[in-house]
Amino acid sequence: MEYRIDPDIRRAATLPAAFYRSAEAFDACRERIFARSWQMIAGAEELVRLPGDALPFAFMEHFLEEPLLLLRDESDQLRCLSNVCTHRGNILVQHPQRLSRGIVCGYHGRRFHLDGRFAHMPEADGMENFPCPADNLASLPVRQWRQFVFTSLDPAIPFDEWVEGMERKIGFLPVEQFRFDPARSRDYLVHAHWALYCDNYLEGFHIPFVHKSLAAALDWNAYRTELLPWGSCQVGIGRGGEEVFDLPPGHEDAGQNIAAYYFWLFPNIMFNFYPWGLSLNLVRPQQPNLTRVSFRTYVWRPEKLGTGAGADIDLVEREDEAVVEQVQRGIQSRFYQAGRFAPKQEAGVHLFHQLTVRLLKE
């Protein structure tokens, strides 16, 4: 199916219901969008800190199951390598560990340097044209923003351009000091298409109707969405009396009572900054009607927890989950084809649909 989103939001219609229902479109997103996206390597900041530390992971678990290995080499450089032995396809590293002898395959003893170069293989006598470049482990790009580490199978988006807007807005925060809090982190299974979850996140239109407690903390009339080249920032203004950011002089939002910055980075990562710290959402497709959303909490000012716009994230998530699952049922209707965009409130959704179509066409 050919998709088109009019660049003029005043005339544009949303992605059609067929996009959310189609297994073919879901598979196309896997290869044309997610394989070319930047994905965060969860846990890298805690588990890969010293030379030799290694973390095996799947690029996107249960969706794009490419076995990969993040490690620090002897020169303290982060590397992301294929975790598949170039001899017979065995998985090389099974669990997080310190690699003191390089990377050694447990099947036939093939060994690799920590930069992925082939080092040695037993019983190689008599082999011609060996070793050759194909005997090295494939290397993937690694990029870091603050303490967070990302990789891509085939990046279509310049990384610096992807994070630039977020860095500009919250660069004054000491994000490196934010500490992961496993007790406040959890996964949710949402019985809906991944893009419906993103659609819902990308507009504040529904806040006064769905999130009563959040609406009480935010001035909905002042709520706004700012578009970035590869994402958006929703700016939540406090009603008054709530915890807000102490913005430095010269900040582009100086003088405003900012209670929250909600960043979405295409296609599926959300950084939600509050005066107490960060709630990071990783939206991971599983099936056309099933999405896993991982909430990772990073606390900076614990005394501010439970206040303001970030007071009850779990409640807001449950409310979002319920309405998105209702929409998942609704788009199965033979009478629903596509919707329209409210220009002031749904500019982020419009951008999301434009970028989705752009990569699907590429």
State which of 90, 119, 145 marks the end of a domain: 145
Q: What is the pLDDT of residues 96-155, one digit of tens each?
A: 999 999 999 999 999 999 999 999 999 988 999 999 999 999 999 999 999 999 999 999
Same domain, 108 and 202: no
127 in a domain, yes or no? yes
pTM summary value: 0.94
Concatenated DSSP letters of 305-361: TT-GGGS-HHHHHHHHHHHHHHHHHHTT-TT----B--TTT-HHHHHHHHHHHHHHH
Asked whether residue 133 falls in the same domain as residue 259, the answer is no
Find out whether 308 and 242 touch, Cβ atoms under 8 Å: yes
For residue 50, give the CATH number of its domain. Answer: 2.102.10.10
pLDDT value of position 317: 82
Q: Specify whether 321 is located in the same domain as 252.
A: yes
Q: What is the pLDDT of residue 72?
A: 96
The pLDDT score that the predictor gives to residue 214 is 78
Whether residue 74 sits in one domain with residue 119: yes
Q: Is 349 within a domain?
A: yes
Shared domain for 88 and 202, answered yes or no, is: no
Residue 19, helix vs strand vs coil: helix
DSSP state of 146: T
**Are 216 and 257 a contacting pair, CB within 8 Å?**
no
pLDDT in tens, 316-331: 888 888 999 999 999 9
Q: How many domains does the chain have?
A: 2
What confidence category does residue 212 fall into, taking pLDDT thresholds of 50, 70 and 90? confident
In this structure, the answer to whether residues 66 and 176 fall within a common structural domain is no
99 and 169 fall within a common domain: no
Residue 184 is assigned to a structural domain of this protein: yes
Q: Residue range 326-346: average pLDDT?
A: 96
What rounded mean pLDDT belongs to the chain? 94
User: What pLDDT does residue 311 have?
Assistant: 66
Among 264, 276, 271, CA closest to 309? 276
Residue 219: per-residue pLDDT: 85
- Residues 226 and 82 grouped into a single domain: no
Q: Print the domain residue range for 95.
A: 39-145
What is the C-alpha to C-alpha distance for residues 67 and 93, in angstroms, rounded to an integer? 10
Domain assignment present for residue 74? The answer is yes
Mean pLDDT of 51-63: 97
pLDDT band at 362 (very low <50, low <70, confident <90, very high): confident
